[in-house]
C-alpha cells in the first residue's frame, strides 16, 4: 500500500435513498463535490437534489440502473469523479465492481476486492477466520460431495443447518431436524442455491438455538491499524430483515465486548481488511460466541455506533480511502450512553408487512434532543415497488438505554407520514413490550413471541 495520500475532490455515490443522502452529507462537510446517479423514477429524489451534479443511468429496475457497473463507471469518467462510494446493497459487495473502479484509476471507498471476495464465499470465510483463531460454529469446511456431507451431518448431530456457500443474510438456509430428512433437504438446498446464486455449493453448521445476533463494527486503515467500535444488538428482525438495532447490546458486558472485539479485529486482519466492516456473531445464552459472516460494507445500522462513539464512520471511510491513518486508536474509543435505531419502512404491519407504495402527501419528521433522522424521502416523494421499502431511520440517543427508549417513544409519536402505510405502529408496540424493555429477547422474539394485535 502506498503512503502517498490519494487526493480527491469529487465523489460519485453509486446508490439512492437515505444512504446516498448520508454519504453526500459527509462529503459536503469534507468540502468534496458529489455526483449522484439516478434511475428514471428517481429523477426528483432527495439524493439527486443534495448532490452537486446528477446523471441518469436508465430505467427503474436495479439491474438496468443501480446495478450496472458499466453505466456507473461511464458517469464517473464523464463527471471526472476521483472516488466512488457504493453505500450498502446494490454493488457494494461485488468484488468485480471494486476492482473495476481501481482499474479505471478511481478510488473505491470500501475494502479491497480480494477481501470482499474472501468474505463473500462463506466457506472460504469460515476457513480463513478459523485459521486466525476466530470461533466458528461446528460444521464442514469444504465444498464436499453429498456422501461426505451426509457423513459429516451424523458427526455434527441434529438439528443442523444447510447453508449456501454463496449465500448470506439467511438466503439459502435450511434447517434439518432428523437424519432421515437429510438427503431430501440437501438436494432441495443445492437446487435452491443453484437457482439463487448460480452455484449449488453448500456447507453444514450445527444449529445454535435461541441465540442473539450481535455484530462488531471494525475500522481498518491501509497502514495496518485495525480497531473495533463496540457492538450492535441486531436480534430484533423478521424474516432476516432487521427492524430495530441498538448499541450497546443490553446483553453485553465489558469483558465479553473486549473478547469479541479482539476476535473481530483478528477476523478483519485475516483477509487484510481495509476500510469499514462488520463481523456478525451468534451469541448463545451461555455467552459462547460464533462467527457467522463478515459484511464488507457500510451497514444500514451504522448510526447507532456513531452516536455512542461520537465518530463519523462515513468520514472515516473517506479518510481511509485517501490513505490516511484512522483518526483514533483503540484506547481513544470511548462509548457513551445508548442509541436505538428504528427502521421506518413503507409496509403494513397489520397485513403481514406487505410493502406499501404511493405518494407521500405530507410528512412531519421528529426532532429535538437526542433525535437523528436519516431519511431518503421528503413530502412529495413517490414510493415505488422497485427498491427497498426503507424510507428512513429514526435514531435516538440517551445517557442510558432507558432514556433512549423514552426518546424513541416520544419521537415515534411525532412522526407523521401521509400517503403510504408504515411500520411505525410495529415499533410503538415493540417499545411497549415488557420483554423488549427488559432486554430479554433473541432472534426468534419478533416471529415467535410478539403479536401486533
Q: How far is the CB of 279 from ligand MV4 (least distance, A)?
A: 11
Would residue 297 show up in a list of annotated catalytic residues for this protein? yes
- Please give the residue ranges that form the binding site for ligand MV4 (CB under 6 A): 137, 161, 169-170, 173, 205-208, 213, 237, 240, 280, 282, 292-293, 443
Which one, 136 or 406, has the nearer CB to ligand MV4?
136
Q: Where are the alpha helices (DSSP H) in 80-233?
A: 95-103, 113-120, 122-131, 146-156, 182-197
CB of 437 to ligand MV4, least distance (A): 21
Q: How far is the CB of 170 from ligand MV4 (least distance, A)?
A: 4
Q: Which grid coordinates are listed for 446?
A: 419478533
313-321 vs 17-29: helix crossing angle, rounded to 10: 70
Q: Is cis: bond before 159, omega within 30 of 0?
A: yes
Angle at 297 between CA 347 and CA 175, to 5 degrees: 65
Instruction: Report d(CA 303, CA 227) in Å as an integer.
Output: 17
DSSP state of 345: E
Among candidate residues 22, 126, 190, 297, the one labeled active-site is 297
Return d(Cα 284, Cα 282) in angstroms, integer.
6
Distance CA 294, CA 242 (A): 16
DSSP three-state, residue 174: strand
CA–CA distance, 21 with 47 (Å, rounded to integer):
5
Q: What are phi and psi for residue 164, nearest 5 degrees?
A: -80, 130
Q: Give 30 or 124: the residue with its C-beta nearer to ligand MV4.
A: 124
Q: Which grid coordinates belong to 150?
A: 451426509
Rounded Cα gap, residues 253 and 250, in angstroms: 8
To which residue does cell 436505538 refer? 340
Minimum CB–partner distance for residue 237 and ligand MV4 (Å): 5
Question: Contact at 8 Å (CB) between 229 and 333?
Answer: yes
Nearest to 220 by CA among 87, 313, 125: 313
CB closer to ligand MV4 out of 133 and 170: 170
**Residue whose CB is less far from ligand MV4, 283 or 412:** 283
Q: CB 213 → ligand MV4: shortest distance, Å?
A: 3
CA Rg, the chain, in Å? 22
Half-sphere exposure of 271 (CA within 13 A, CB side): 33
Residue 240: CB minimum distance to ligand MV4, A: 6
**Closest to ligand MV4 by CB, 63 or 178:** 178
- Nearest distance, CB of residue 127 and ligand MV4, angstroms: 16
Nearer to ligand MV4, 27 or 129 (CB): 129
Percentages of the chain per state (helix, strand, coil), in multiples of 5 = 35, 25, 40
Which are the catalytic amino acids?
297
Amino acid at each position: 500500500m502506498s503512503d502517498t495520500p490519494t487526493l480527491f475532490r469529487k465523489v460519485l455515490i453509486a446508490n439512492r435513498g437515505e444512504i446516498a443522502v448520508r454519504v453526500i452529507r459527509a462529503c459536503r462537510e469534507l468540502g468534496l463535490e458529489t455526483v449522484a446517479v439516478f434511475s428514471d423514477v428517481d429523477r426528483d429524489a432527495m439524493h439527486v437534489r443534495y448532490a452537486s451534479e446528477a446523471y441518469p443511468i436508465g430505467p427503474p429496475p436495479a439491474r438496468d440502473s443501480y446495478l450496472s457497473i458499466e453505466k456507473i463507471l461511464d458517469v464517473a469518467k464523464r463527471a471526472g469523479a476521483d472516488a466512488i462510494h457504493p453505500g450498502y446493497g446494490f454493488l457494494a459487495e461485488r468484488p468485480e465492481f471494486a476492482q473495476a473502479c481501481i482499474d479505471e484509476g478511481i478510488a473505491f471507498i470500501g475494502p479491497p476486492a480480494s477481501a470482499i471476495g474472501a468474505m463473500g464465499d462463506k466457506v472460504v470465510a469460515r476457513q480463513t477466520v478459523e485459521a486466525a483463531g476466530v470461533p466458528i460454529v461446528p460444521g464442514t469446511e469444504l465444498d464436499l460431495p453429498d456422501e461426505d456431507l451426509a457423513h459429516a451431518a451424523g458427526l455434527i448431530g441434529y438439528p443442523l443447518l444447510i447453508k449456501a456457500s454463496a449465500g448470506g443474510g439467511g438466503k439459502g438456509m435450511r434447517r434439518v431436524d432428523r437424519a432421515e430428512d437429510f438427503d431430501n433437504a440437501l438436494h432441495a438446498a443445492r437446487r435452491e442455491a443453484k437457482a439463487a446464486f448460480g452455484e449449488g455449493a453448500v456447507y453444514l453448521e450445527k444449529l445454535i438455538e435461541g441465540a442473539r445476533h450481535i455484530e462488531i463494527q471494525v475500522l481498518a486503515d491501509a497502514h495496518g491499524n485495525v480497531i473495533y467500535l463496540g457492538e450492535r444488538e441486531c436480534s430484533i428482525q423478521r424474516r432476516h430483515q432487521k427492524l430495530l438495532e441498538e448499541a450497546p447490546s443490553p446483553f453485553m458486558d465489558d469483558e465479553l465486548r473486549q473478547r469479541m472485539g479482539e476476535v473481530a479485529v483478528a477476523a478483519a486482519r485475516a483477509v487484510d481488511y481495509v476500510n469499514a466492516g462488520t463481523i456478525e456473531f451468534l451469541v448463545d445464552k451461555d455467552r459462547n460466541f460464533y462467527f457467522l459472516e463478515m459484511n464488507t460494507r457500510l451497514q444500514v445500522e451504522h448510526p447507532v455506533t456513531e452516536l455512542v462513539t461520537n465518530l463519523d464512520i462515513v468520514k472515516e471511510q473517506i479518510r481511509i480511502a485517501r490513505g490516511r491513518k484512522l483518526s483514533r486508536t483503540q484506547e481513544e474509543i470511548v462509548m457513551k450512553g445508548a442509541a436505538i435505531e428504528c427502521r421506518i419502512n413503507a409496509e403494513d404491519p397489520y397485513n403481514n408487512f406487505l410493502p406499501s407504495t404511493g405518494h407521500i402527501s405530507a410528512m412531519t419528521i421528529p426532532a429535538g434532543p437526542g433525535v437523528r433522522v436519516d431519511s431518503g424521502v421528503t413530502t412529495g416523494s413517490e414510493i415505488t415497488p422497485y427498491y427497498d421499502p426503507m424510507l428512513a431511520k429514526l435514531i435516538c440517543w440517551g445517557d442510558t438505554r432507558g432514556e433512549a427508549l423514552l426518546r424513541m417513544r416520544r419521537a415515534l409519536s411525532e412522526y407523521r407520514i401521509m400517503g403510504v402505510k408504515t411500520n411505525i405502529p410495529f415499533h410503538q408496540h415493540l417499545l411497549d413490550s415488557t420483554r423488549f424493555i427488559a432486554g430479554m429477547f433473541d432472534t426468534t422474539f419478533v416471529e415467535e413471541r410478539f403479536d401486533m394485535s
